[in-house]
Every structure is written in structure tokens, then in C-alpha cells.
């Protein structure tokens, strides 16, 4: 099976731990080489984050377990890149 190289997740998390600590903890998952976290929305109960993971063979179950272990929930999988390398997106006629 082709390895997962990039994974973009929409995640809901409680206010604690902080975005910084939350990102560090999910970044410690063995298969994760890097993670970016962007705060998308904030309300009284939760924070909505866009998390972008990269690695040579990401293990989705381990990433999800790390998120859930901190009280977070994977709301959706928004992008997956698999194969020998990550395809860089380029504009196509459908994007106009």
C-alpha cells in the first residue's frame, strides 16, 4: 500500500491543552516528521484547528489516538497525499 506523506485534518479540541502544547504532543507521534497547526475558529467550548502532518509513512491511527488522548476529535480528513512523493497542487481549468 502507498505510504501516507501528508495528512490534513479538521480537529475540534478543548481550550486546554493550549494549541502549542497540543501540537507538540501530536508532533511526538513516531511517524510524524512535522506538523502545522492553524486556529480556524474559537468559541466558548472548543477550538477548531487545521492540522497538517507530513512524514514518510504517517500512521493515521496513531495520529488520531494522540488527538483523542488530549480530548480532541477528528472532525474530517480534508486532504491525503500518498505515494513516493507529495504532488504539489497546481491550478487547473476547473479552478477558474
Q: How many CB atoms lie within 10 A of CB 58?
A: 21
Write out the residue range of the structural domain in which residue 35 sits: 4-84
Full DSSP string of 3-59: PEEEEEEEEEEES-S-HHHHHHHHHTSTT-SEEEEEEEEE-SSEEEEEEEEE-SS--
Number of domains forming the structure of the chain: 1
Residue 96 scores a pLDDT above 80:
no
| 50 vs 61: CA distance, rounded Å | 17
Residue range 11-67, pLDDT digits in tens: 999 999 999 999 999 999 999 999 999 999 999 999 999 999 999 999 999 999 999
Whether 21 is in a domain gets the answer: yes
pLDDT score of 89: 84
pLDDT score of 94: 85
Whether 91 is in a domain gets the answer: no
Whether 65 is in a domain gets the answer: yes
- CATH number (domain holding residue 67): 3.30.70.1340
Residue range 69-95, pLDDT digits in tens: 999 999 999 999 999 999 888 888 888
pTM: 0.91
Whether 34 is in a domain gets the answer: yes
Amino acid at each position: 500500500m502507498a505510504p501516507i506523506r501528508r495528512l490534513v485534518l479538521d480537529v475540534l479540541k478543548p481550550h486546554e491543552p493550549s494549541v502549542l502544547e497540543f501540537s507538540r504532543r501530536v508532533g511526538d507521534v513516531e511517524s510524524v516528521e512535522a506538523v502545522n497547526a492553524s486556529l480556524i475558529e474559537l468559541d466558548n467550548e472548543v477550538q477548531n484547528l487545521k492540522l497538517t502532518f507530513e512524514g514518510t509513512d504517517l500512521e493515521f491511527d496513531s495520529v488520531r489516538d494522540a488527538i483523542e488522548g488530549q480530548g480532541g476529535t477528528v472532525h474530517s480528513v480534508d486532504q491525503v497525499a500518498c505515494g513516493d512523493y507529495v504532488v504539489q497542487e497546481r491550478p487547473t481549468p476547473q479552478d477558474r
